[in-house]
Amino acid sequence: MLSKKNAVIYGASQSLGGAVAREMARAGARIFVTNRHLKLAEEVASQIRSEGGIAEAAKVDAMDESSIQSHLDNVTKKAGAIDISFNLIGIAVKQNIPLIKMNADDFVVPISQAMQTHFLTATAAGRLMSKQGSGVIISLTATPGGIGYPGVGGFGPTCCAIEAFSRNLAAEVGPSGVRVVNIRSAGSLDSRPFKEAVDNAVPGVEDIFKKMKGDTMLKDLPSMNDIASTAVFLASDMARRITGVTIDITVGTTAALNYKTGIVPDSYQIFPDT
């Protein structure tokens, strides 16, 4: 599905970023994985190569414009084009504090950081893709982007901001043949933050997971592979008429079937790949 496509993945490690990179490689894409910590990106690249895929790792600060642009320039020289860009870097969010008791910095900082990294990576890719006349820019949010949730601090507004940015960018670069799509997911219990919650014996964690599943229509949560497979589809020509929208993989949670009042692990992050 992604044969002859070149994909840049920001925030690749042994969680969702790595799962997406590996699945895109299995679909035939040449993968350029990045992370602030080169070792984490190289681990993913090595796994892809061990499966017969093509992958290169690089140290990139996805919050820094010059670091992003320098890497994209190198990728373009090597590969000739950039077909897919997916930002999955980790941004920590303070949660389990009522908004009326939260200080402004704790609320605003994750929104600001998320907007900065998505603006920088997406617009840099958008400029290159617009010249090519093709390309796909993908982002990721979570359930609070679709319904109101208590106790998530700046997380919900951050998700809404990313989704709005994705739509607006799609409207601007669409005439140049570039698609922009967002994926909204519920939590994946096989991702790093949730595994850490279990390993660290977070009090009540099993009840939290049970409640999260109970909030969905199918009484289950998406795996990392579910999200990765959706990303492969959206990046492929099979989705060539899909842009400017958010694809919902919350297993029906954003239909507000139930109302979530439980807490989430303190380690939970917007994009679980620091």
In terms of pLDDT, which residue wins out, 92 or 175?
175
CA distances from 265 to 13, 52, 147, 194, 198 (A): 20, 36, 19, 7, 9
Q: Please, which pLDDT band fits residue 274 given cuts at 50, 70 and 90?
A: very low
Q: Please, which pLDDT band fits residue 258 given cuts at 50, 70 and 90?
A: low
For residue 242, what are its two tokens?
């899909």
Q: What value does the mean pLDDT take over residues 14-29?
A: 95
* pLDDT tens for each residue of 83-106: 999 999 998 899 889 999 999 999
Q: Please, which pLDDT band fits residue 8 given cuts at 50, 70 and 90?
A: very high
Q: What is the pLDDT of residue 29?
A: 98
In terms of pLDDT, which residue wins out, 219 or 86?
86
Helix residue spans in 38-154 (DSSP H):
38-50, 65-79, 104-132
Q: What value does the mean pLDDT take over residues 60-68?
A: 97
Residues sharing a CB contact under 8 Å with residue 199, sequence separation 6 or more, in sequence order: none
In terms of pLDDT, which residue wins out, 264 or 202?
202
Q: 0.95 exceeded by the pTM?
A: no
pLDDT at 137 over 60: yes
* pLDDT tens for each residue of 190-216: 887 777 777 777 787 788 888 888 888
pLDDT at 60 over 70: yes
Q: What is the pLDDT of residue 209?
A: 84
Residues sharing a CB contact under 8 Å with residue 127, sequence separation 6 or more, in sequence order: none
Residues sharing a CB contact under 8 Å with residue 74, sequence separation 6 or more, in sequence order: 58
Q: Please, which pLDDT band fits residue 263 given cuts at 50, 70 and 90?
A: very low
**Domains in the chain with CATH codes:** 6-255 (3.40.50.720)
Q: What is the pLDDT of residue 149?
A: 83
The interaxial angle of helices 16-26 and 224-235, nearest 10 deg, is 50
